[in-house]
Amino acid sequence: MTDAERKLWNLVRGRQMGGLKFRRQHPFENYILDFVCLEKKIVVEIDGGQHQERNEMDAIRTKVLEDAGFSVLRFWNHEILQQPEAVTEKIWQEAMLKKDPSSPLPSP
């Protein structure tokens, strides 16, 4: 893990964020997701300098994930290292916006 990944993992692991379970390096189709909360269908991707040259590939990846019902949040390494509270607040806000996708639909 990079320093930024380690920092974020220490902030979200063990259900520290409102009881939400995050997984790291989780496989999905042909991708490995940096972090994912399956119950809220939120993917958190951490981008380093190499991602500046991979915008098209990242856009395709994001589209595949969004088509599967995920919200994708992307943060730069320096955001996580320098503003961890702002990053976790953004993740929490996204989680609160999403209904629990695993909840059954009400009976007709």
**Domains annotated on the chain, with CATH:** 3-96 (3.40.960.10)
- Condensed to tens digits (0 to 9), the pLDDT of residues 18-50 reads 999 999 999 999 999 999 999 999 999 998 766
Q: Give CA–CA dist 65/72, Å, rounded.
A: 7
Q: What is the pTM of this model?
A: 0.84
Q: Which residues contact 34 (CB under 8 A, 6 or more apart)?
A: 5, 24, 25, 43, 44, 45, 46
Residue 76 has pLDDT above 80, yes or no: yes
